[in-house]
Amino acid sequence: MRRERIDHAFCDTDELHRLVAPAFVTLTKNTQLRGCIGQLHPEQPLGELIARMACEAAFHDPRFPPLALEEAADIEVEISILTPLEPVGNSGEIHPGEDGLVVEGHGHKGLLLPQVAAKYRWDSSTFLAQTCHKAGLPKDAWKDPHVKIWKFQALVFSDNDFAEV
């Protein structure tokens, strides 16, 4: 599925309910990460996946305590719908801020969404190093021929995109 297919799906609600695509839900509080969970290989329609990942991000992200009711009003919800993974042959194929990355090797796996590289203004090498670090690998592990690298793009939107003006 390409990005155009995802964009088209938002015009047809019946198609959107049937669409199966990878997605992540990111929760922030006062611009600070509060939870982020997603699935690269979903087996359920996007609407069900997003609802499940929102609950997982709120209550089961192991990096954070479960979300408390008092925090709810301060939480921003961001949804990232991912395109299929494409293998990366070299760092020149990566466009930080446009591409997200998955690094996998030696029993470890890490993913960073495109908006992370954009937020920190990383170049390709830094983005690769940070994705390796997230995976629990040495920062230069992306140079190891046994480490696999994939890129993807994401259609990203948040609850603020739908706020009343």
Give me the mean pLDDT over the 45-59 stretch.
Answer: 95
Q: What is the pLDDT of residue 67?
A: 96
Is the pLDDT reported for residue 6 higher than 60?
Answer: no
Residues of the chain with CATH 3.30.1490.150: 86-152
Q: What is the pLDDT of residue 5?
A: 47
Going from the C-alpha of 61 to that of each of 2, 17, 37, 64, 150, the distances in angstroms are 29, 26, 7, 6, 23
Amino acid at 118: A
The tens digit of pLDDT for each residue in 10-26 reads: 556 677 678 999 999 99
**Between 130 and 165, whose confidence is greater?**
130
Residues of the chain with CATH 3.30.700.20: 3-82
pLDDT band with cut points at 50, 70 and 90 for residue 3:
very low
Q: What is the pLDDT of residue 18?
A: 80
Asked if CATH classification 1.10.533.10 holds for the domain at 3-82, the reply, yes or no, is no
pTM reported for the whole predicted model: 0.87
Q: What is the pLDDT of residue 159?
A: 85
Please tell me the class of the 86-152 domain: alpha beta
Q: What is the pLDDT of residue 30?
A: 94
The tens digit of pLDDT for each residue in 99-157 reads: 999 999 999 999 999 999 999 999 999 999 999 999 999 999 999 999 999 999 999 99
DSSP for 64-121, written as a single string? SPPPPGGGGGGEEEEEEEEPPPEE-SSGGG--BTTBEEEEEETTEEEEE-HHHHHHHT
Give me the mean pLDDT over the 17-36 stretch.
Answer: 94
